[in-house]
Structure 1
Amino acid sequence: MKSSLRTRLRAGDPEAFRELFQDMAQAVHALALRATGDRTTAEDVVSLTFLEVWRLRERLDAGDDSVRPWVYGVATNVLRNRARAARRHQRALARMPRPEDVPDFAGEVDGRIDDTARLTAARKALDRLRRGEREVFLLCVWSDLSYAAAAQALDVPVGTVRSRLSRARARLRRLADEELEGAQQKTEPGPSHRQIPGDRDHAVGSTQESAR
Structure 2
Amino acid sequence: MDVDYSMFARIRDGDPEAFRELHAAHASLVYRHAVRMTGDWSLAEDVVQLTFLEAWRLRGKLRDEGDGPRPWLMGIAVNVLRNTTRAGRRHRAAMDRMPAQETVPDFADELVGRIADAEQLAAARRALGRLRRGEREVFTLCVWSGMSYAEVAATLDVAVGTVRSRLSRARTRLRGLAEEELRTPGTEPGPASGQVRGDRVPAARSMEEENR
Same structural fold, with TM-score higher than 0.5 when normalized by the shorter chain: yes
Whichever residue aligns with residue 78 of structure 1, its letter is: V
Equivalent residue, structure 1, for 2:88:
86
Task: Give the conservation status (yes or no) of the 8 Å contact 1:9–1:17.
Answer: yes
Q: Distance in 1 between matches of 2:143 and 2:28?
A: 16
Cα distance, 1:78–1:59 mapped onto 2, change above 3 Å: same
Equivalent residue, structure 1, for 2:169:
167
Structure 2 residue 39 is the aligned partner of structure 1 residue 25: no
CA RMSD of aligned residues (A): 2.5
Task: Give the conservation status (yes or no) of the 8 Å contact 1:6–1:63.
Answer: no
Task: Give the conservation status (yes or no) of the 8 Å contact 1:6–1:65.
Answer: no
Structure 2 residue 66 is the aligned partner of structure 1 residue 71: no
Q: Between the two structures, name the one with larger relative contact order (CA 8 Å, sep ≥ 6).
A: 2
Structure 2 residue 63 is the aligned partner of structure 1 residue 61: yes
Residue deviations 1:100-153, cap 9 Å, x none?
x96x999xx9xxxx8110011001111111000000001110111110100000
Q: Distance in 1 between matches of 2:147 and 2:77?
A: 14
Structure 2 residue 53 is the aligned partner of structure 1 residue 51: yes
TM-score w.r.t. the length of structure 2 is: 0.73
Residue deviations 1:60-111, cap 9 Å, x none?
11357400111111100001101111235568x6xxxxx9x96x999xx9xx
Cα distance, 1:134–1:68 mapped onto 2, change above 3 Å: same
How far residue 22 of structure 1 moved from its aligned partner, in angstroms, is 0.6
What stretches of structure 1 of length at least 5 have no aligned partner?
94-98, 185-212
1:38 equivalent among 30, 37, 40: 40
Moved more, 162-171 or 54-63: 54-63
Task: Give the conservation status (yes or no) of the 8 Å contact 2:127–2:174.
Answer: yes
Q: Distance in 1 between matches of 2:35 and 2:7?
A: 27
**Number of aligned residue pairs:** 169
2:145 equivalent among 135, 143, 146: 143
Residue deviations 1:29-87, cap 9 Å, x none?
00000000010011011011000011100011135740011111110000110111123
Q: Distance in 2 between matches of 1:164 and 1:53?
A: 27
Work out which of the two has the higher radius of gyration on C-alpha atoms and give 1 or 2: 1
Aligned to 1:129, what secondary structure does the other structure show? coil
Q: Distance in 2 between matches of 1:105 and 1:37?
A: 14
Structure 2 residue 151 is the aligned partner of structure 1 residue 183: no
Structure 2 residue 11 is the aligned partner of structure 1 residue 9: yes
TM-score w.r.t. the length of structure 1 is: 0.73
Whichever residue aligns with residue 58 of structure 1, its letter is: G
Alignment identity in percent? 59
How far residue 160 of structure 1 moved from its aligned partner, in angstroms, is 0.6
Task: Give the conservation status (yes or no) of the 8 Å contact 2:31–2:44.
Answer: yes
Equivalent residue, structure 2, for 1:194:
none
